[in-house]
């Protein structure tokens, strides 16, 4: 998506060879018009998949996921990051290790909002090692729902997330694919 790539080039900052900061339009300040475009783009791409729910991981996935859900006309569900196992039968939980923080959390979803009839689209801000998306997939499977696809704003293609998810048979659709990060360079894989 050209608009997102241009924004990344203008405002993104590689803090090292692994991590890109996009605090001015995704992770801290959020640009509503860009999120609206992103939501409509994802909705257009996944429109024939009979999506019934959009699922995201708090907190940076919420803005694009909400716009996608709005464009598709379906609810959005936020998977929460709890510090440790909550003893509550109404919840599904699974451990995920955070790429940026190196810590673990219990990804948590209520049993009330997804069931075996749902076709779920997962939306997240970044794809690195695929841990967050794989955790989301586990929770959706606990509910016996179907994962209809995975939409990512910024994929770091030099890390193994996409391959891991594709090997499990999932479609990964990323709006910007980064081939490499350097001190003053951000290189994209050209759009197909």
Q: Of 104 and 110, which has the nearer Cβ to ligand 5GP?
A: 104
| One-character DSSP codes across 125-168 | EEESSSHHHHHHHHHHHHTT-EEEEEEEEEEETTSSHHHHHHHT
Q: Where does this chain touch ligand 5GP (CB under 6 A) — which range of 17-25, 29-37, 84-92, 112-120?
A: 17-25
Minimum CB separation from ligand 5GP for residue 161, in Å? 4
Of 57, 137, 143, 147, which lies in the binding site for ligand 5GP, with binding defined by CB under 6 A? 57
Pick the closest to residue 9 from 192, 184, 189, 139 (CA basis).
Answer: 184
Backbone angles phi, psi at 190, to 5 degrees: -60, 145
Q: Pick the binder of ligand 5GP from 43, 74, 127, 143 (CB under 6 A).
A: 127
**Least separation, in Å, of the C-beta of 22 and ligand 5GP?**
6
128 sits near ligand 5GP (criterion: CB under 6 A):
yes
132 touches ligand 5GP by CB under 6 A = yes
From the CB of residue 24, how many other CB atoms can be counted at a distance below 10 Å?
15
- β pairing state of 91-97 and 119-127: unpaired
User: Is 168 near ligand 5GP (CB under 6 A)?
Assistant: no
Angle (deg, nearest 10), helices 32-45 and 62-72: 50
155 binding ligand 5GP? (CB under 6 A): no
Judged by CB under 6 A, the number of residues near ligand 5GP is 20
Which one, 50 or 167, has the nearer CB to ligand 5GP? Answer: 167
**CA–CA gap between residue 133 and residue 161 (Å, rounded):** 9
Which residues, at least 6 apart from 167, have a Cβ–Cβ distance to it below 8 Å?
A: none
Exactly one of 11, 13, 27, 104 binds ligand 5GP (CB under 6 A); that residue is 27
The answer to whether 99 contacts ligand 5GP (rule: CB under 6 A) is yes
What does the binding site for ligand 5GP look like in residue numbers (CB under 6 A)? 19-22, 27, 57, 60, 99-100, 124-132, 156, 161
């Amino acid at each position: 998506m050209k608009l997102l790539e241009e924004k990344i080039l203008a405002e993104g900052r590689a803090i090292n060879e692994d991590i890109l900061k996009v605090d001015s339009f995704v992770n801290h300040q959020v640009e509503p018009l860009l999120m609206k475009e992103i939501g409509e783009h994802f909705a257009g791409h996944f429109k024939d998949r009979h999506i019934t729910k959009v699922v995201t991981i708090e907190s940076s996935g919420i803005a694009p996921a909400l716009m996608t859900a709005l464009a598709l006309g379906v609810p959005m569900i936020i998977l929460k990051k709890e510090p440790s196992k909550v003893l509550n039968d109404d919840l599904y939980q699974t451990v995920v290790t955070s790429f940026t923080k190196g810590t673990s959390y219990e990804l948590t979803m209520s049993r009330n909002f997804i069931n075996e009839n749902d076709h779920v689209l997962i939306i997240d801000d970044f794809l690195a090692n695929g841990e967050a998306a794989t955790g989301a997939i586990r929770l959706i499977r606990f509910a016996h729902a179907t994962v209809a696809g995975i939409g990512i704003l910024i994929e770091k293609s030099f890390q193994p997330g996409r391959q891991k998810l594709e090997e499990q048979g999932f479609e990964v659709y990323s709006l910007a694919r980064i081939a490499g990060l350097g001190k003053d360079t951000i290189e994209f894989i050209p759009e197909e």
